A = this chain, B = another copy of it.
Amino acid sequence: MKTSFYSILYPVMTKSLEALSGVLSKAAADAEAHKSTRLNYEEWFLNDRLIYNQMGLARQVQIATDNAKNSIKRLTGADVPSFEDSETTFAQLQERIAKTIDLLKAVKPEDVNDKEDVRVSLPYWDGKSLSGYEYATEYLLPNFFFHVTTAYAIIRKNGVAIGKSDFIGPLPLK
């Protein structure tokens, strides 16, 4: 694959969400193995956070998937479904990730490659905007990776045996 506006966004975010799905599977298995039936362990894990005033694990996954999904609408104008942000189980978060990946995979290079100069505005930007390219490279990708990494961090600090390769995913080494 070569560098294009499409290729630096949709294949990259798809791969990262696939890796996140694997990380969440390991977290769910670890939690299941170590659960106490007297504690609502799944709800607590999904609400756990690095510090009291930062968002919790489920919310990190919700925002990462929203970043990815909503970029399609912001760049191409195509409608994308809203998600309800009501996930309270690992299985529901997996479903959200799977739906997001389906949407990302449905994006075609030609839908995106000429969108570097569209104007993109977010609700909290006070009517101001960025170019599609600025939005993608200065906001979307850093923000997306921020939330995927923070989800990983919350899982990691709960002692789940994950490592960097779980975050990166398989590499096409030859």
Q: Which residues of A contact B (CB under 8 A)?
A: 1-5, 7-8, 11-12, 15-16, 50-51, 54, 116, 125, 128-130, 133-134, 137-139, 141-143, 145-146, 149-150, 152-153, 156-157, 159, 164, 167-169, 171-174
- Residues in B with CB closer than 8 Å to A125 are 171, 173
Q: List, in ascending order, chain B residues with CB within 8 A of A167's CB.
A: 142, 146
- CB nearest neighbor in B for A138: B171
A-B contact pairs, 17 of them (CB 8 A): A3-B3, A3-B133, A7-B137, A11-B137, A12-B141, A12-B142, A16-B142, A50-B157, A51-B157, A51-B159, A54-B157, A128-B173, A129-B173, A130-B172, A142-B167, A143-B168, A146-B152
Residues of B within 8 A of A50 (CB): 50, 153, 156-157
Minimal beta-carbon separation of A47 from chain B (angstroms): 16
Q: Is the CB of A3 within 8 A of B143?
A: no
Contact B130 A54 (CB under 8 A): no
**Contact between chains at A171 and B133 (CB < 8 Å):** no
Asked if B15 and A138 make an inter-chain contact with CB atoms under 8 angstroms apart, the answer reads yes
- Complex contacts, A5 vs chain B, CB 8 Å: 3
Most chain B CB within 10 A, of A3, A51, A54, A173, is at A3
